[in-house]
Amino acid sequence: MYEPYPTPELSHEHKKYRYSSLWESAKQDFKVLIFLLLIAGLIGLGSGHFWLCIAIGFSVFTALQVRALYLVNEWISSRPYDAPPNINGIWGALLFNIYRTQRQERVVQAEMVSLIDRAQASLFALTEAVVITDELHQIEWCNPAAERILGIKASDHGNNILGILRRPAFVEYFQDMEQHPDGIKIESSLYEGHYVQIKLTRFGVESRLLVAYDVTRIHNLEQMRKDFVDNISHELRTPLTVLSGYLETFQEQDDFNPRWRRAFDQMQSQTRRMNALVNDLLLLSRLESEKKIIKNQIVDMPSLMTQLFDDAQAYNTEYRHILHLEIDSHCDLIGSDMELASAFGNLITNAIKYTPKGNGHITIGWHDDQEHGYFTVQDNGIGIDLKHLPRLTERFYRVDSARSRQTGGTGLGLAIVKHVLMQHGAYLEIESIPNEGSCFKAIFPKECLYQSEN
């Protein structure tokens, strides 16, 4: 353990103070005083100068006290870390108390220093970059990995971090951390083609702790996965179009053998399913590469809702549910109309699909409370068990795969909904009771609402 000053061992003389109280020590002084006065009194009586000898006795006692005081002062002012001088009486006890408090403080201090040393050594050994900034965004401390990953050196101490890490995405994140609770990924400014994940944590008044690590490998794997899905979906599109084209042509032939009707119908329905799957995969891949989506259109909600309702009526002919439309808002949405229509459409077709035929009430609604906009789809269908809800928006997650396939589902509908909403800063809330029904609610932030004139 590191000790700023070595702590001397207590002598036997000092140890006696450990158990004696201040009053015990004062009693020692009294004994000395009485002894001196007794001697002085006896000498005074013998010599006939009683009061003079008593005065001399007092003076000797005072001189002893002054000497003790002098030693105390000398120790305090010049050698406070040495063991205190051996002094009897109240001054000795006082000195010991000061010394004991100091010893305890030194032990605590040594423990603190050792702890700080260990914490610093472990931060130095980290492969992740760690940077601490103060309330003025100036760099207070950084570890060696910060230089390797971010280019921030120990000599940058006192410099503004935003002057070093200048990427707009980082500056925006630094100023509004709540927007990205999981941190952000930015391209490295040191090495081309490298990516760094950065997470900021606020502490104290306005200080920040930055932790960053290289995520190039994960980024590349993720990119490979996206490219693969994108490419394969594009490659499948052409053969599927050719297949369904021929299937239709064959069935329209006058000499088409009715014996093949069932097989051809099945082939056609499977090609349709595959087509839907490819389209959903392409849409998801487009949603993931955020840049390609224009999100600043004003989406006329009454007309979109009417359009969605008409589509739902058409889809509903086979299911024969009763559909309701409720619009209770004068707000439009700011976003991407195609993507929003696709997400809302998915929620509506799900409600129709997962409600037993002929027996359903499905309500499609749009309303707002000035702070948020709510697009809701309520059904009285089969419902979903609570345990499935957290995983429902994962790709290909189905509560009942057989049922989903039977209804022509791709297993990507809710994943698309989640991505579209994320792109708009919105989120999905699901409430459901098995055998009673479900309510899917897309909740939009105020920034997405546009107050229409009428």
**Which residues here bind ligand ADP, judged by CB under 6 A?**
346, 350-351, 354, 379, 381-384, 392, 397-400, 404, 409-415, 438
Residues 6+ apart with CB under 8 A from 128: 145, 149, 211, 212, 213
Task: Give the residue with the Cβ less far from ligand ADP, 143 or 285.
Answer: 285
Nearest CB to ligand ADP, comparing residues 144 and 411: 411
Conformational region of residue 343, where left means phi above 0, alpha means psi within -120 to 50, and beta covers everything else: alpha
> Which of 133, 410 has the CB closer to ligand ADP?
410
Q: Which residue, 208 or 321, is less far from ligand ADP as judged by CB? A: 321
| Helical ranges in 6-129 per DSSP H | 12-19, 22-47, 50-78, 89-125
CA distance 153 to 146: 7
CB of 113 to ligand ADP, least distance (A): 57
Q: What is the rounded distance in angstroms from the CA atom of residue 428 to the CA atom of residue 433? A: 17
Residue with Cβ nearer ligand ADP (64 or 382): 382
Query: Please, what is the Cα angle at 433 between 427 and 435, to 5 degrees?
Result: 130
Tokens of 392: 């429902």
CB neighbours of residue 56 within 10 Å? 16
**133, 122 in Cβ contact below 8 A?**
no
First-residue to last-residue Cα distance in the chain: 76
CB of 381 to ligand ADP, least distance (A): 5
Question: What distance in Å separates the CA atoms of residue 111 and residue 105, rounded to the nearest whole number?
Answer: 10
Distance (Å, rounded) from C-alpha 74 to C-alpha 78? 6
Task: Give the strand pairing for 139-142 and 207-214.
Answer: unpaired
Minimal distance, residue 410 CB to ligand ADP, in Å = 5
CB of residue 124 to ligand ADP, shortest distance in Å: 48
Provide the 3-class DSSP secondary structure of residue 333.
strand
Looking at beta carbons only, is 87 or 382 nearer to ligand ADP? Answer: 382
Q: Which is nearer to ligand ADP, 335 or 360 (CB)?
A: 360
Q: Write the DSSP symbol of residue 177.
A: G
Nearer to ligand ADP, 4 or 356 (CB): 356
CB of 419 to ligand ADP, least distance (A): 11
Provide, rounded to whole angstroms, the least separation between the CB of residue 264 and ligand ADP.
24
Nearest Cα to Cα of residue 393 among 345, 424, 350, 428: 428
- Closer to ligand ADP at the Cβ: 152 or 399? 399
CB of 325 to ligand ADP, least distance (A): 17
Pair 411, 273: CB distance under 8 Å: no
User: Which residue shows structure tokens 């083609």?
Assistant: 193
Cβ 254 to ligand ADP shortest distance, Å: 37
Closest separation in Å from C-beta 344 to ligand ADP: 13
| Alpha-carbon distances, residue 68 vs 36, 64, 87 (angstroms) | 17, 6, 7
Tokens 């329905």 sit at which residue? Answer: 269
CB of 135 to ligand ADP, least distance (A): 46
User: Which lies closer to ligand ADP via its Cβ, residue 29 or residue 379?
Assistant: 379
Question: Alpha-carbon distance 133 to 238, whole Å?
Answer: 55
Q: Judge contact between 61 and 36, C-beta under 8 A.
A: yes
